[in-house]
Amino acid sequence: MREITRHALFWPVAALIALLVANTVYRPDFLAVTVLDGHLFGAPIDILRNAAPLMLVALGMTLVIATRGIDLSVGAVVAISGALSLSFIATSPDPGSVSTVLLAIAIALGVSLVLGVWNGFLVSVVGIQPIIATLILMTAGRGIAMLITEGQITTVTSAPFKTLGSGFWLGLPVATLVAGGVFLLVALLTRRTALGMLVESVGINPAASRLAGVKARTIVWTVFALSGLFSGLAGLILASNVMAADANNAGLFIELDAILAVVIGGTSLQGGKFSLSGTLVGVLIITTLTLTVTIVGISPLVTPLFKALVVIAVTLLQSPRIRETFAARARQRAARPEEVAA
Amino acid sequence: MAAVAPEQSTTGSPGPSRPRPQESRLRAIARRLRIDRRYMPVVGTFVVLALILVIGGARYENFLSAGVLANLFINNSFLIVLAVGMTFVILTGGIDLSVGAVLALSAVSAAYLLDAGVPAAVVLPAVVLIGSVIGLLIGLMVHVFDVQPFIATLAGMFFARGLCFVIAPESIPITDETFVAIAGWDTWVGGQWRMTSSVVVSLVVVALAFFLLHYTQFGRTVYAIGGGEQSARLMGLPVARTKVLVYVVSGTCAGLGGLLFAMYSRSGYSLTGVAMELDAIAAVVIGGTLLTGGTGFVLGSVLGVLVLGLIQTIITFEGTLSSWWTKIVIGALLLVFVVLQRVLTLRRT
Amino acid sequence: MTSSETAERPVVEMTGISIEFPGVKALDQVDLRLFPGEVHALMGENGAGKSTLIKALTGVYGIDAGEILVDGRSHRFSGPGESQDAGIATVYQEVNLCENLTVAENIMLGNEPRRLGAIDWRATRREAARHLATMGLDIDPASSLGAHSIALQQLVAISRAMVVEAKVLILDEPTSSLDAGEVAQLFAVMRRLRDEGVAILFVSHFIEQVYEISDRMTVLRNGRLVGEYATATTDRVELVSTMIGRSMEVLEDLHVSTDRTVEIERGSTPYLQAVGLGRKGSVQPFDLDVYSGEVVGLAGLLGSGRTEVARLLAGADRADSGTTRIKDAPAPLRNPRAAISRGIAFSSEDRKAEGVVGDLTVRENIVLGLQAGRGWMRRLPGRQVDEIVDKYVAALNIRPADPDALLRNLSGGNQQKVLLARWLATAPELLILDEPTRGIDVGAKAEIQKLVAELAGEGMAVVFISAELEEVLRLSHRIAVMRDRAKVAEIVNGEDVGVDEVVGLIASGGDH
Q: How far apart are the C-alpha atoms of C193 and C149, rounded to whole Å? A: 22
Neighbours of C91 (CB within 10 A): 24
Residue B282's nearest CA partner among B342, B327, B219 is B327
Per the domain annotation, does B221 fall within a domain?
Answer: yes
B141 interface with A at CB cutoff 8 Å:
yes
Average the pLDDT over A286-314 and give the result. Answer: 84
Looking at the structure of chain A, the number of domains it has is 1
How does residue A314 score in pLDDT terms, banded at 50, 70 and 90?
Answer: confident
Percent with pLDDT over 70 in chain A = 91
- CA neighbours closer than 13 Å in the CB half-sphere of residue A191: 11
Cβ contact B236–C252 (<8 Å): no
> For chains A and B, what is the number of CB pairs under 8 angstroms?
137
C314, C333 Cβ separation under 8 angstroms: yes
Contact A208 C356 (CB under 8 A): yes
Examine residue B278 and state whether it is found in any structural domain, yes or no. Answer: yes
Judged by a CB distance cut-off of 8 A, whether residue B347 touches chain C is: no
Residues of B in contact with A126 (CB under 8 A): 339, 342
Concatenated DSSP letters for A198-243? HHHHHHH-HHHHHHTT--HHHHHHHHHHHHHHHHHHHHHHHHHHHT
Domains of chain C: 12-246 (3.40.50.300), 247-343+428-512 (3.40.50.300), 356-427 (no CATH)
Q: pLDDT digits over A48-66, tens only?
A: 999 999 999 999 999 999 9
CA distance A211 to chain C (A): 6
Count of H helices and E strands in chain C?
Answer: 18, 22
pLDDT in tens, chain C (512 residues): 334 444 578 999 999 999 887 656 788 899 999 999 999 999 876 667 888 899 899 888 888 899 999 988 898 888 888 888 888 988 887 778 888 899 999 999 888 888 888 999 999 999 999 988 888 788 888 888 888 877 788 889 888 888 878 899 999 888 766 777 788 888 988 999 999 899 999 988 677 788 889 999 999 887 889 889 998 888 776 776 677 654 444 444 444 344 544 555 555 688 999 999 998 877 889 999 999 989 999 988 766 788 899 999 999 998 989 999 998 899 888 889 899 999 999 998 888 888 899 889 999 999 999 999 888 888 889 899 999 999 999 988 887 888 998 888 887 778 889 999 999 999 999 999 998 887 677 777 888 888 899 999 888 999 999 877 778 888 899 999 987 788 988 988 887 787 778 877 877 766 54
Interface contact flag, B325 A139, Cβ < 8 Å: no
Subunit contact C181:B17, Cβ cutoff 8 A: yes
Does the CB of B208 have a partner CB in chain C at under 8 Å? no
For residue B87, the enclosing domain spans 38-348
Write out pLDDT tens, residues B6-35.
Answer: 333 333 333 333 344 444 555 555 555 555
Q: What is the mean pLDDT of chain B?
A: 85
Strands C216-221 and A154-155: what pairing? unpaired
pLDDT of residue A182: 96
Which residues are C119's β-sheet partners? C114
Omega prior to A95 cis, within 30 of 0 = no
Task: Give residue C176's pLDDT.
Answer: 67
Which of B10, B233, B238 lies at the smallest CB-CB distance from C208? Answer: B10
Beta-bridge partners for C465: C298, C434
- Please tell me the distance from the alpha carbon of residue B295 to that of residue B324, in angstroms, as a whole number: 32
In whole angstroms, what is the distance from residue C172 CA to residue B234 CA?
A: 13
Count structural domains, chain B. 1
Coil/strand/helix, residue C372: helix
Per DSSP, the residues of C273-286 read EEEEEEETTTEEEE
Residue B159 pLDDT > 80: yes
**For residues B223-242, average pLDDT:** 90
pLDDT per position as a tens digit, B162-207: 999 999 888 999 998 899 999 888 888 877 888 899 999 999 999 9
Contacts of B16 (CB under 8 A, 6+ apart): C179, C181, C301, C303, C304, C483, C484, C485
Work out the pLDDT band at B244, boundaries 50, 70, 90.
Answer: very high
Q: What's the pLDDT score for residue C7?
A: 52
Run of H or E residues at C489: strand C486-492
Quote the mean pLDDT of chain C: 84
B13 in any annotated domain:
no
Task: Note if the bond before C400 is cis, omega within 30 degrees.
Answer: yes
**Do B43 and C505 meet the contact criterion of CB atoms below 8 Å apart?**
no
Measure the CA–CA gap between B243 and B229, rounded to whole angstroms. Answer: 10
Distance (Å, rounded) from C-alpha B272 to C-alpha B266?
12
pLDDT, position C289: 92
Half-sphere exposure (Cβ direction) of C187: Cα atoms closer than 13 Å: 18
Contact B6 C206 (CB under 8 A): yes
Q: What is the mean pLDDT of residues A183-211?
A: 92
pLDDT tens digits, B66-96: 888 899 999 999 999 999 999 999 999 999 9
| Residue from C103, C106, C109 whose CB has the most chain B CBs within 10 Å, to mutate | C109
C137 φ/ψ sector (left φ>0, alpha ψ -120 to 50, else beta): beta
pLDDT at A224: 97
Amino acid letter for position A16: L
For residue B229, what is the domain's CATH number?
1.10.3470
Q: Virtual CA dihedral for C122, C128, C131, C135, nearest 10 degrees?
A: -130
Q: Is the pLDDT of residue B138 over 80?
A: yes
Q: Assess whether pLDDT exceeds 60 at residue B253.
A: yes
Interface contact C369-A212, CB threshold 8 A: yes
Asked whether residue B32 is domain-assigned, the answer is no
Q: Tell me which amino acid residue C363 is.
A: R
Q: Tell me whether residue B280 is in a domain.
A: yes
Of A26-30, B55-59, C214-218, C403-407, the least confident: A26-30
Q: Is C81 in contact with B238 (Cβ distance < 8 A)?
A: yes
Which of C134, C105, C421, C471 shows the shortest CA–CA distance to C299? C471
Listed residue (C106, C128, C147) closest to B38, CA to CA: C147
pLDDT band, very low/low/confident/very high, at B1 (cuts 50, 70, 90): very low
Element (H, E) at C295: strand C295-299
Give the CA distances from residue C97 to residues A335, A339, B204, in Å, rounded to whole numbers and listed in that order.
22, 16, 33
pLDDT given for residue B347 in this prediction: 60
Those residues with Cβ within 8 angstroms of residue C348's Cβ, 6 or more apart along the chain or in another chain: A208, A211, C316, C354, C355, C434
* Confidence bin at A104 (pLDDT 50/70/90): very high
Q: Residue C85: helix, strand or coil by DSSP?
A: helix
In a domain, B3, yes or no: no
CB spacing of C503 vs B348 below 8 angstroms: no
The C-alpha atoms of residue C113 and residue A97 are separated, in whole angstroms, by 78
Give tens-digit pLDDT for C284-300.
899 999 999 899 999 88
At A122, the amino acid letter reads: L
Q: CA-to-CA distance for A211 and C24, rounded, in angstroms?
A: 33
How many Å apart are CA C454 and CA C465, to the nearest integer? 17
What's the pLDDT score for residue B9?
37
Question: What CATH number does residue A186 fall under?
Answer: 1.10.3470
Gap between the Cα atoms of C54 and C170, Å rounded: 8
Kind of pairing between the strands at A39-41 and A34-36: antiparallel
Query: What is the pLDDT, as a whole number, of residue B18?
Result: 39
From residue A315, how far is each of B1, B99, C333 by CA, in Å? Answer: 55, 20, 46
Class of residue B187 by CB neighbours under 10 A (exposed 0-12, middle 13-18, buried 19+): exposed
Does the beta carbon of B145 lie under 8 angstroms from any beta carbon of chain A?
A: yes
pLDDT of residue A226: 96
Q: Contact at 8 Å (CB) between B256 and B110?
A: no
Q: How many residues does chain C have?
A: 512
- Those residues of chain A whose CB sits closer than 8 Å to some CB in chain C are 1, 192-195, 197-198, 200-201, 204-205, 207-215, 219, 272-273, 333-335, 339-340, 342
Please check whether residue B139 lies inside any domain of the structure.
Answer: yes
**Phi-psi region at B191: left, alpha or beta (left = phi > 0; alpha = psi -120 to 50):** left
Residue type for position B211: F
Inside any domain, residue B115: yes
Q: Are C151 and C95 in contact (CB under 8 A)?
A: no
The string of DSSP letters for C194-215 reads HHTT-EEEEE-S-HHHHHHH-S
Reported confidence tier of residue B154, pLDDT bands at 50, 70, 90: confident
Q: Which of C75, C2, C66, C80 is nearest to C32 (CA)?
A: C66
Compute the distance between CA of residue C40 and CA of residue C55 in angstroms, rounded to an integer.
16
Question: Which residues form the domain of A182?
Answer: 2-339
Inter-residue contact A209 to C365 (CB < 8 Å): no
Neighbours of A94 (CB within 10 A): 11
Q: Which residues pair with C219 in a beta bridge?
A: C43, C227
Name the residue in chain B with its Cα closest to that of C87.
Answer: B236
| Interatomic CA distance for residues C173 and C168, integer angstroms | 16
Q: CA of C51, closest CA in chain B: separation in Å?
A: 14
The DSSP result for B130-161, as a single string, is: HHHHHHHHHHHHHHHS---HHHHHHHHHHHHH
